[in-house]
Structure 1
Amino acid sequence: MQKQRPKHLDLGKIRLPVPGIVSILHRVSGVALFFSLPLLMYLFAGTLSSAQDFDTFRAIIAYPLMKLVLIGFLWAYLHHFCAGIRFLFLDVHKGLELETARATAKLVLIVSLVLTAILGFLLW
């Protein structure tokens, strides 16, 4: 007997568990961090080369849109860091039970968002 399988997956209707969401966000944040490296290196180089370049750097980051972009990069870093620690524990077979895996995934989301909010508020 053939199984009835959907011909077209509706990704909006598929409910992904929290550990799956954390895993996907870990990958997305890693890609975002990788592609943001040239911008971040340019900004960091501008802070160190001369006083005039430092003033240019301060003018660039004074724009609210740029601040939001940098806060987005901050979230990407914090989420990638927290999820990476979670995955290191999973690699050594700690926290593999279903309830523990769900709890640590929720903790990663909460911690990364709270730290982003706190640091973003302090840096704004």
Structure 2
Amino acid sequence: MPAVKSNRPVNLSMGQVLAVNLRSPVAIASILHRLSGVIVFLLVPVLLWILDKSLSSPEGFDYIKNVVFGNIVVRLVVWVFLAGLIFHLVNGIKHLFADMGVAEELQSGRIAATLSLILSAVGIIAAFIWIVL
């Protein structure tokens, strides 16, 4: 009986999936876009608490300014939130352009993904300097 080529799907391990996807800027941007959305979603309550406390009274504002933001861990959490927001915004704009038909092809999509990664990195580094340092 001759060997027949199977067209059945093959289940890949997570290591194989990552090895394939981490070579493509489009895949990296897509994975990070989803991750940044989760980060922003999870940190919204923390930032809303900070906003509520700072607007409650002059004493609350002083507490947030001196005690809360005096802690490096809180500033790092705020930076992580802002980094996720910057990345999600930049890649969301890229997706809006793709929905309008811009950068839908393979090569232009790679260029757009690379450009969005670079712009996000610049914004995230600027946010780090502004908030943490």
Please indicate, yes or no, whether the TM-score normalized by the shorter chain is above 0.5. yes
1:22 corresponds, among 10, 13, 29, to: 29
The reply on whether 1:67 has 2:70 as its aligned counterpart is no
SS in 2 for 1:12: helix
Secondary structure in 2 matching 1:57: helix
**Residue matched to 2:14:** 11
Question: If the length of structure 2 is used for normalisation, what is the TM-score?
Answer: 0.83
Q: Distance in 2 between matches of 1:96 and 1:46?
A: 45
Which amino acid in structure 1 is aligned with residue 34 of structure 2? Answer: R
**RMSD of aligned alpha carbons:** 1.6
Of 42, 52, 76, 1:45 maps to 52
Please name the residue that 1:110 is paired with.
Answer: 118
Q: Gapped runs of 5+ residues in structure 1?
A: none
Unaligned runs of 5+ residues in structure 2 are: none
2-structure distance, mates of 1:107, 1:12: 27
Structure 1 residue ranges, 4+ long, deviating more than 3 angstroms after superposition: 3-7
Q: Secondary structure at the match of 2:44?
A: helix
Of all paired residues, the percent bearing the same amino acid is 31
Shift of 1:31: 1.6
Q: What is the number of equivalent residue pairs in this alignment?
A: 123
TM-score in terms of structure 1 length: 0.88
